[in-house]
Structure 1
Amino acid sequence: MEKKEFDHLLTTQSKYLKPQALRFTRDADDAKDLIQDTLLKAILNSDKFRDGTNFKGWLYTIMRNLFVNNYRKRGFHTCTLENEEATNLHVENNGESNMRLEGIRTALNRLPRQYYKPFTMYLEGYKYHEITDSLFIPIGTIKNRIHVARKILRQTIS
């Protein structure tokens, strides 16, 4: 799939992530973080998406896996919103989605190399010890670099 086509799908389908992110996190700010992490992971793994696959389902799976792997470790719990509530939360704005997608790509590409590699490996699902073994960097440094990368991305994207 071409980058332009992938970006178009990501832009049009990403608007459906907000209600589900709110169900998972129960918090608007945490939902935004989860959506950003989902979009980043989708961008980083765009080569793994196969034509004919349900794109919205692929994004949802990424989001669910990120939530389960990362967010529950921090003590967040799931919440179920009624369908009517979730529908009311849906806002369609392709311009905003395009800007957000471009902002995420730009921010990710601007991360200093020392933060980029550990952060992208973390988003890809590697555990801290696996990143440590791969990059030959102490685990405390890996955790710090991932934390700093998230902080830089939040400041840049917000």
Structure 2
Amino acid sequence: MSKVSSTRLKMIRNFEVASEKVFDAWLKPEMMGKWFFTLEGTNKVTRNNPQVGGTWEIIDHRGGQDYRAIGEYLELDSPKKIKLTFKMPEMSDLEDTITVEIKELEQGCEMTFTQLIHVAQESNWTDSEIEKALDEMRDGTEVGWNYMFMGLKELVETGEVSYKG
């Protein structure tokens, strides 16, 4: 087995709704299927058992191909914290850990998203190649989450996501 290096991605987003609404969007299948790793128009499957030890699965169909994301809930503290694993088994055996912390503000709430990202190293990589791979994975992951969080914001604040895929 190859060595694994890790990097951390942290993103903060504000929402003009109560923290419960954002918390629910992470857990309710009818909401997850509109923004989390998928879009309503491309979502094929959203399964969820939101309890500690429970699992989740989303299958998104784009460009004639299915993309599958799975994970397990490690911690749930409504409406403040969700900790879960995130894995795309067809792409990697590695499993990331995501922590979502939501705090109530005077108006709305603030979500702090942290993902511990793991990257498999090639055996001959130098330190600079490892660093470059980690930076590229973190940057690419951030772009993806940024799009998802735009959809999440629209969903919780308006009830709809305008982009359907």
TM-score, reference length from structure 2: 0.26
Higher-helix-fraction structure: 1
TM-score, reference length from structure 1: 0.27
